[in-house]
Amino acid sequence: MMAAGALYGYSALASLHLQNQQDAVELNRQRARLASSAGLAQQHAAQLPSQLSGDMSPLLRDFHEFALQQDLTVAEARYTPSESRNDAGLARSRIDAKVRGSYAGVKRFTASLLAVHDGLALDSLSIRRGSAADPKLDVQLIFSLYSRTAP
């Protein structure tokens, strides 16, 4: 009985190892694609003034677009706008999201959002996996978007 459990654990580990190798290949492919699409960063840099004034449209569009590109399922996404500003004119809006997908996909998704959107910070990341053999993760993400308005 114990040998059967060890055999099952070994086969699950082998499956995860194979998935990790496949994710590494996909990660390298995505890195090459991102390196060749430097124009995307310039496009978003042009949108920076509106983003700094609190316009969430580019961020929310990219949130769903990048999730789709990484084969992630967005289970829930909630945006909480800031009601107050500090003395420097900075406001903080919060984005709570639950996504489901591979570890590599979540990693690429998060890195893409943070690379493209100035003022965006990852506050919290919580990962859960149903079982050791399950290649999909349930991830809770909390982002803060810092924006500035004219005095």
Identify the structural domains of the chain with CATH numbers, from first to last: 2-148 (3.30.70.60)
For the chain, the straight-line distance linking the first and the last C-alpha, in angstroms and rounded, comes to: 71
Q: What is the DSSP letter of 143?
A: E
Give the pTM.
Answer: 0.60
Residue showing tokens 């493209």: 116
- Which ranges in 37-89 belong to alpha helices (H)? 38-46, 48-52, 57-69
pLDDT band at 52 (very low <50, low <70, confident <90, very high): very low
pLDDT at position 68 = 93
> Per-residue pLDDT for 143 more than 70?
yes
Query: Residue 116 and residue 59: Cα distance in Å, rounded?
Result: 9
For residue 36, give the 3-state DSSP assignment.
helix
| Residue type present at position 8 | Y
pLDDT at position 29 = 76
Q: How much is the average pLDDT of 8-35?
A: 71
